[in-house]
Amino acid sequence: MSAEHSEQLLREVAALPALPGVYRYFDAADQVLYVGKAINLRKRVSSYFQKNHGGTRIGHMVSQIARLETTVVRTEAEALLLENNLIKALSPKYNILFRDDKSYPYLKISGRAGRAESEGRSPADYPRIAYYRGAVDGRNRYFGPFPSAWAVKEAILLLQKAFKLRTCEDTVFANRTRPCLLYQIKRCSAPCVAYISHDAYAQDVQHAERFLQGETEQVLAALQSRMQQHAERLEFEQAAELRDQVAALSRVLQQQAVYDQSDRDVDILAVEVRGGRACVNLAMVRGGRHLGDRAYFPAQLEDAASVWRIDSDDTGADEAKASASTAGEVQGEPRDEPREEPRDAAPIAAQVLEAFIAQHYLDLPPPATLITSVPLGAALVEALSLRSGAKVVALHQPRGARRVWLQMAQKNAGIALARLLADEGSQQARTRALVDALGLTPDRLDLLRIECFDVSHTAGEATQASCVVYQGHRMQSAEYRRYTIEGITPGDDYAAMRQVLQRRYGKLVEAMRQADAATEGAGAEAAPADAAAGPRLPDLVLVDGGRGQVAVAREVFAELGIDLSLIVGVEKGEGRKVGLEELVFADGRPKATLAHDSAALMLVAQIRDEAHRFAITGMRARRARVRTGASRLEDIPGIGPKRRARLLQRFGGLRGVAAASVQDIATVDGISKELADQIYRALR
């Protein structure tokens, strides 16, 4: 056992059971380092402490382990599900991480498609198609998920052309007295003004649903049969409308690059690894139609790969046999399971793809069929089946249309990764050029941190300041911050800049002092091993402005005791033309003018423009709230964030809520008749 670790930790390792489970490593600051799974916890965890890993990445991780936690489960599949739940929740430093993207969009058909409940024309009796993102419920019908908003909008356009379903909000529908432009261009059948009967509209809705479910041939046959019936009864206008529907659907099928009626819902996953980076391309097939794809890029690939290789080397034949005996079925090319070769010899692509699948389908039910560019472990497929409640099949070497889908996904993964590597190479060159031009001395180039500030307002109204962060050769949008500026003379940019810098760095300096005091009190051994850990000042602070803005920043930094050489102002050049900017220094150095094609100036301009964009979008949103009184809903007792969101979503905005009747407002989930009356009176 390793002499670097406490006796208590080593005793805990030796006492672990020889059962399947999940383990977590923590450092002295109680930050999670790594989450892993094992069929035999004792054998797997003890392997980390029985070898001298030297100065490798795995050695650096093992040297930081201060304590561990374990959870025993029944099977490897359960361990895999728990492992990836914890990875998503804890974001360990030495695991492959895929950014938790926004939820996938759906196409929603709202309302009911059955018999009308009243003689009037209630919006609920005439379902609408709409773009939707969020949690699904049983009150509406959802189709998807789609890989992008563009794919949903294309599907909506298709349904408008073929079935002429409405897309208008319910409040618009209820108040129409004549058809809108969509009726004129033959994208809507105008149910709002009774240009189509309820039964006929319900039939169009049914056909649209069947089309989205992949029953295209059946829908075409039904439409052609109805068209023939109208023609036989000499109802040529109705027959012509159905003829146009059939033609529209036929054109869609001809334009679809890859269509296979035998496959309803399939996900195609291809992985490409190159240049120390990886890309997973996910393509979606829904209702037999290829809807498009999306590329994902994992973080922490090199650190995670080193741990993964050690895990493989330390996993004995007994554990491999146990994995094989409990694994489920994987179809396609025979799976070399268990893996008995070292994982550095096996493609790391398998690790990347398995990590993506395990994390991605925690929140999204997997389809019945997965087509992958590398074979998957049987335990992962079994875990997916447990997650979905139905059998999931993974195919590695498909044929026919499936093979075409996989080839497309592999090609798109390669293109996306090549683009990423080119962009990263360019960004790294820009970072190096800026470091050289300004004489900066970061410990590591990838740790260089730049923060940039900008102030935006309209004639002093709704003043907002922004702070954007550049680190690791890219903009870190998760660390952006907006500051609402108050208590200053409207239009005083200098006072606004002073306030945002004081608020930003006053708290940071205080946090650094507290951290230093805690470190001194605990002794030198408690200092964090990672140079990037804990609060720290940026290596460079950019302010959008010239000498005046820089002078304000210099005063704030002097008051806080911060090095003035960190401050650089970006002053617009002659005629405010891009490429003629000059850099103004707070420590007394003369202005610097970089060549218009300088990589350093390109990076400065990129960061400055991002700060400006972030500030102006925040200012416009705040100004719109002030001018439209959007906050008035929040001022009504009993209206919290959830009820406010439901109201705005139902009526399409505050104006729609204000125009609605008490009866309409009361139909919103969570709004009583008394509260609806209170809202009605408050908005008038």
Q: Could you report the per-residue pLDDT of 555-610, keeping only the tens digit for each?
A: 999 999 998 889 999 987 665 566 677 899 988 888 888 877 788 888 998 999 99
Confidence (pLDDT) at 105: 84
Buried b vs exposed e over 564-593: b needs ≥16 C-beta within 10 Å? Answer: bbbbbbbbeeeeeeeeebbbbbbeeeeeee
How high is the pLDDT of residue 321? 46
Kindly report, residue by residue over 234-261, the tens digit of the pLDDT: 877 777 777 776 776 665 554 444 444 5
Nearest to 600 by CA among 419, 440, 442: 440
Helix (H) or strand (E) holding 221: helix 216-232
Residue 338: per-residue pLDDT? 36
**d(C-alpha 667, C-alpha 354), whole Å:** 45
HEC profile for 306-327? HHHHHHHHHCCHHHHHHHHHHC
Confidence at residue 576, expressed as pLDDT on a 0 to 100 scale? 57
Three-state SS at 133: strand
Residue from 588, 65, 578, 615 nearest 307 by CA: 65
Q: How far apart are CA 181 and CA 491, in angstroms?
A: 43
Q: What is the pLDDT of residue 318?
A: 42
Other C-beta atoms closer than 10 Å to the C-beta of 321 total 12
Domains of the chain, CATH where assigned: 7-90 (3.40.1440.10), 266-419 (3.30.420), 444-521+533-621 (3.30.420.340), 629-682 (1.10.150.20)
Mean pLDDT of all residues belonging to the chain: 80
Query: What's the pTM?
Result: 0.61
Which residues of the chain carry a pLDDT beneath 50?
A: 1, 254-260, 313-346, 524-532, 627-631
- Please state, in angstroms and rounded to a whole number, the distance separating the CA atoms of residues 14 and 361: 34
